[in-house]
Amino acid sequence: MQATTTVHARPHWIESSRGRLYAKRWTPTGEHQGAPVVLLHDSLGCVSTWRDFPHRLAAASGREVIAYDRLGFGESATHPGKLTADFVQDEAKNDFMAVCEQLDLSRFVVMGHSVGAGMAVACAASHPKACEGLVSVSAQAWVDDGIRQGIRVAEQQFDSPGAMDRLSSHHGDKATWVLHAWVDTWLSDVFSTWSLDALLPNIRCPVQVLHGDGDEYGSVRHAQHIAQEVRGPAVLHILKDCGHVPHRTHPDETLTLIQTFLAKEAQA
């Protein structure tokens, strides 16, 4: 695996039409090996929940890596209300574009985890000329009973001592909004018919789909569907004995798979 000796990390503030967004950029020393990788976090995530993954990805790939807190999450501004039923597609057309414009990203690879992977799909579909590659990790392609049950179980776990404190350590006083934005949206009737089906045929860039065989928030059928329905060349990896967060529970395997994909994409 390729590695660089030093990765410099620096914060950025992005002005969007709805509020200020926090972003962080990891830049490896030496000549960059391709377009920057933009990370989109999961329903309870933010920049800090990626932990050391962006640093390791920048070092291994030789690419800049950028992550940002969506509105209402982490260090970004408070969200003004509830998430709308089209919030996944809306991210690609609004705040994601503000990040790209203000950080001067004319080309990018987009990578997302969980609902962030759905947003990454939307970004690749909405900006086909700028997007050079898509990495989908633990995506949900539609809403089903298995996903809803996983969310109900997780919601109950937040009643245990210390659970909300851990969420608050990443989101501060926005933690309660973050939890309800996830639970209330995904369990709502209005969101029950949501899917990625209208977006997938518009993706023509190289695609990598990663999914754990024991994912508690969506079966491998979601990953298989994404890989089958995109128009660009797609590679599917089902990680064994792996749950919903492979970059945390299987970090070396996940990083190797993504770095290999990025290296091939750069040579294409």
CATH number of 7-141+196-267: 3.40.50.1820
Q: What is the pLDDT of residue 4?
A: 45
- Which two tokens mark 44? 């309870």
Q: Residue 268: its pLDDT value, please? A: 67
Residue 124: partners with Cβ closer than 8 Å, 6 or more residues away: 110, 131, 134, 203, 205, 207
Does 7 have pLDDT greater than 50? Answer: yes
Tokens describing residue 214: 């024991």
Q: DSSP letter for 1, please.
A: -
The candidate with the shortest Cα–Cα distance to 209, out of 124, 111, 125, is: 111
Tokens read off for 30: 């030496």
Mean pLDDT of the chain: 96
Go through 19-32 and write b for each residue having 16 or more CB atoms within 10 A of its CB, e for each that does not.
Answer: eebbbbbbbbeeeb
CA–CA distance, 107 with 207 (Å, rounded to integer): 16
Single pTM value for the model: 0.96
Give the pLDDT of residue 5.
62
pLDDT in tens, 55-109: 999 999 999 999 999 999 999 999 999 999 999 999 999 999 999 999 999 999 9
For residue 19, the SS3 value is coil
Going through 29-107 in order, the beta strands assigned E by DSSP cover 37-40, 65-68
Residues 176-205 have pLDDT tens digits of 999 999 999 999 999 999 999 999 999 999
pLDDT of amino acid 265? 83
Q: Give the β-pairing of 234-239 and 207-212.
A: parallel
pLDDT of amino acid 103: 98
Rounded distance between C-alpha atoms, residue 258 and residue 60, angstroms: 10
Contact yes or no for 212/221 (Cβ under 8 A):
no
Question: CA-to-CA distance for 126 and 113, rounded, in angstroms?
Answer: 18
Would you state the pLDDT for residue 30?
85
Percent of the chain residues past pLDDT 70, beyond the cut: 98
Residue type at 261 in one-letter notation: F
State yes or no: pLDDT of 32 exceeds 90. no
In sequence order, what are the beta bridge partners of 236?
209
Domain ranges of the chain: 7-141+196-267
Provide, for the chain, the percentages of residues in helix, strand and coil under a 3-state DSSP scheme, each rounded to the nearest 5.
40, 20, 40
Asked if 124 and 136 count as a contact pair (C-beta separation under 8 A), the reply is no
pLDDT score recorded for residue 3: 46
- Write out pLDDT tens, residues 230-258: 999 999 999 999 999 999 999 999 999 99
Backbone angles phi, psi at 237, to 5 degrees: -125, 120
Per-residue confidence (pLDDT) for residue 267, from 0 to 100: 74
Amino acid code (one letter) for 111: M
The answer to whether the CB of 217 falls within 8 A of the CB of 151 is: yes
pLDDT 10s digits, 126-180: 999 999 999 999 999 999 999 999 999 999 999 999 999 999 999 999 999 999 9
